[in-house]
Chain A
Amino acid sequence: MAKPTEFRIDVEKALGKTEVRAHFRKAMDTLMTNRRNQFPDDAALQALRTQAQAIRANALSKLPELLEQLETNLTKNGVQVHWAETTDEANQIVLGIMQKHHAQSIIKGKSMVSEEMGLNHFLEERGIEALESDLGEFIIQLDGETPSHIIMPAIHKSKEQISKLFHEKFPDIPYTDNVDELTASARRILRDKFYAAPVGLSGVNFAVAETGTLCLVENEGNGRMSTTIPPVHIAVTGIEKVVEKLSDIPPLLSILPRSATGQPITTYFNMISGPRKADEKDGPTEVHLVLLDNGRSRIYSDPELLATLRCIRCGACINHCPVYVRIGGHSYGTVYPGPIGTILEPQKEGLKVHGELIQASSLCGACGEVCPVRIPIPNIINRLRHDSVRKDTENTPTQDAGTRRKPLEAAIWQAWSWSASHPSLYNFGGKTATQLRGLVPNNLGAWTKVRTAPKLAEQTLHQQLKALGVDHE
């Protein structure tokens, strides 16, 4: 057998940690129950999903026009708009703004796009402090980790671990495992940071083209702090986050938090349409928006894969995934874990890097069932499996298409296909079994590690029904 990949090793490790697994299970159970309680009326839920899907699909169908409109309106509102093709370009833009202001530090609200950019690392290499202020992000940054969930970044950590971590990193603060006290400590530490921060960074949940407005959902208030206190605010977002009209926002706001954490609404919904005006007393004096492509326009070019871009990053697919709950977010080795990561990452980074992820799905469909914008996640996984072994690679925009096609596997499927479509040669039973077995010569043991092997019947259904005289045409 080939050398196990990093993903394989991580999966095995993760599965071995029974305590962490139990922790994830409990956390996901809570999130699933909370969501379910938010949608007591299934017909209403389905109608809202259809509406949210239509809003996002409509926006994507007009994407270039809406981006230009967004830019025009933001500019009119006094927001400076920047475009970046790659994460490196986006990082350079952020750096450039910071240098212009001689800023040595940046305080961040939660932003998955900034994770995608690897912004913290990029800035730190250049001697600039990038501080996470979302409590979960703050915790994992203290421990030198990356988020294991897009909504609840520190979901993999237990209260005890966090208590220890705080005490280790802030020896002046007495040890406590009281969540209120831990939170209060974080508040104190970060208050001082907000007070002094020259630049604040945030993500964007929705950008409204019609009004030139950046919308952010959050519970803690750190998003508001990051976008209000520092004199400069930089927002980073993927180009797909735009919607056409202000009236598109209420339905999306109605379905996002309910799908994500099972809250009817988040504590704060923050709509930013510009920097401080001359007569205003607070707010940043400069607001920037960085629009990042990073592969999105490539995904955009395929009518089937395009659905990936409808995503509003609620995390519901992750919360409901039977694979994620067992292996946790870090095993994926990606910025976005779970089902959304499984479809997004191989498209963003190519099949060579993350193509293995698309096998890590039983295609059970739990993700697609809960997705608020009805992204057919299993179908896209299936499509990417096709892309990874297809021969007509010119017909897909997916990077590294066809590179996972292995001659032996392909030959087996061809042989199988031949016999299963030529019943005159029919001896389907024995043949198929042998052929399919050939597909996985080294892995047959995996099945029987926890299960007994299935036994072939003495007489096939074909034979038995023939013997019973069932008509055959």
Chain B
Amino acid sequence: MSQTTNPPKPDTIYFFGTCLIDLIYPKAGVSAVQLLQRERVKVIYPQAQTCCGQPAWNSGYRDEARQVARAQIKFFPKNIPIVIPSGSCAGMMKTHYPELFKGEADEVEALNLANRVYELTEFLVDVLKVQLQDLGEAVEVAVHTSCSARREMGVADKIEQLLGQLSNVDVKEQAYKTECCGFGGTFAIKEPEISAAMVADKTLHIRATGATQLVSQDCGCLMNISGAFAYQAQHEGKAAPKAQHIAEFLWERTHG
């Protein structure tokens, strides 16, 4: 859940980039760091970091997930916020680490880390209270909020709050906005037909808004939705809205 009382603006923070951004969407990670640095926050990116452990956790392999999680806990020792450009990975660390480490020798450390976790948009809005200035062209944007950002982290409204500051951005709301896009990590692989039916509907509804741009705070969803957009463009000649992580979109539009 989103913090009820927010800490004052810190001087220094950790950045946890997530494995998906590391491997496939590094630009989202770089943009997020740039957004944070612009607010005069010192960003530390521990180079030893890898993955929050969620893939194994959601597959039922808890020992394996714990081993990976345990490593991360060591890489973020200082008592400063950890900002994560993903609702899903933030949710893993914030809500599931406490479960994963229950009764373990390092439970206290896990809880301590969980308490320091922020999803990026939440951090920008609630802690840094950013003021954005739109330098971009007029654009119609659809927002897809990931299920973990919405339901685990409770930060569903943050992207809209950020976009609301951009004078040239018009947010278009799609039907079934709160419904899952069908990614769900291994779900997309283990239940490919159901997942495909879900993403087909999601793309349909987003396209129906006429928005030319899609933003989300989670690259998992983006990989799923934009992959489907691209496929439909290739095979069915349909328009493919440009899909970007919110950090990348914000940075592009606001840096001079």
Q: Is A–B contact present in the complex under a CB 8 A cutoff?
A: yes
Which residues of A have CB within 8 Å of B187? 359-363
Known: A429-B23, A447-B192. A385 touches B59 (CB 8 A): yes
Query: Taking A413-B64, A440-B189, A451-B231 as contacts, is the C-beta distance between A322 and B179 under 8 angstroms?
Result: yes
Q: How many A-B residue contacts, CB cutoff 8 Å?
A: 214
Name the residue in B47, B65, B223 with the highest tally of chain A Cβ atoms < 10 Å from its Cβ: B47
Binds A, one of B50-58, B117-125, B136-144: B50-58
Q: Does A127 contact B (CB under 8 A)?
A: no
Q: Closest Cβ of chain B: how far from A455's Cβ, in Å?
A: 7
A446 touches B30 (CB 8 A): no
| Chain B contact residues, majority secondary structure | helix
* Complex partner residue of A433 from B23, B180, B223, CB under 8 angstroms: B23
Does B10 sit at the interface, judged by CB under 8 A?
no
Q: Are B191 and A359 in contact (CB under 8 A)?
A: yes
Q: Nearest A residue to B91 by beta-carbon distance?
A: A365
In the complex, are the beta carbons of B68 and A421 less than 8 A apart?
Answer: yes
Chain B residues with CB below 8 A from A468, complex form: 30, 33
- Majority SS of interface residues in chain A? helix
Could you tell me if B62 and A386 are in contact, using CB atoms closer than 8 angstroms?
Answer: yes
Query: Residue A423 at the B interface, CB < 8 A?
Result: yes
Answer whether residue A301 sits at the interface, using C-beta atoms and an 8 A cutoff: no
- Residues in B neighbouring A426, C-beta threshold 8 A: 48, 50
Answer whether A386 and B26 are a contact pair too, CB < 8 Å, given A362-B187, A436-B55. no
Select from chain B the residue with minimum beta-carbon distance to A361.
B187
CB atoms of A362 and B183 under 8 A apart:
yes
CB <8 Å contact, B56 and A416? yes
User: Is A416 within 8 A of B151, CB to CB?
Assistant: no
A385→B58 contact, CB < 8 A = yes
Report if A44 contacts B (CB, 8 A): no
Q: With A12-B193, A423-B50, A462-B22 as known contacts, state yes or no: A326 contacts B198, CB within 8 Å.
A: yes
Taking CB atoms, residues of chain B closer than 8 Å to A422 are 71
The stretch from A165-173, A202-210, A306-314, A387-395 touching chain B is A387-395
Bound CA span A449–B199, Å: 12
Q: Is B254 an interface residue (CB 8 A)?
A: no
Q: Which residues of A contact B (CB under 8 A)?
A: 11-12, 15, 322-323, 326-327, 359-366, 368-369, 379, 382, 384-390, 409-410, 413-414, 416-423, 426, 428-429, 432-433, 436, 439-440, 443, 446-457, 459-466, 468, 470-473
9 further contact pairs, Cβ within 8 A, besides A420-B53, A461-B21: A326-B194, A363-B147, A363-B184, A366-B151, A366-B180, A385-B58, A416-B64, A417-B65, A457-B27
**Interface set of B (CB-CB < 8 Å, partner A):** 15, 17, 19, 21-27, 29-30, 33, 42-51, 53, 55-65, 67-68, 70-71, 75, 99, 147-148, 150-152, 178-180, 182-200, 223-224, 227-228, 230-231, 234
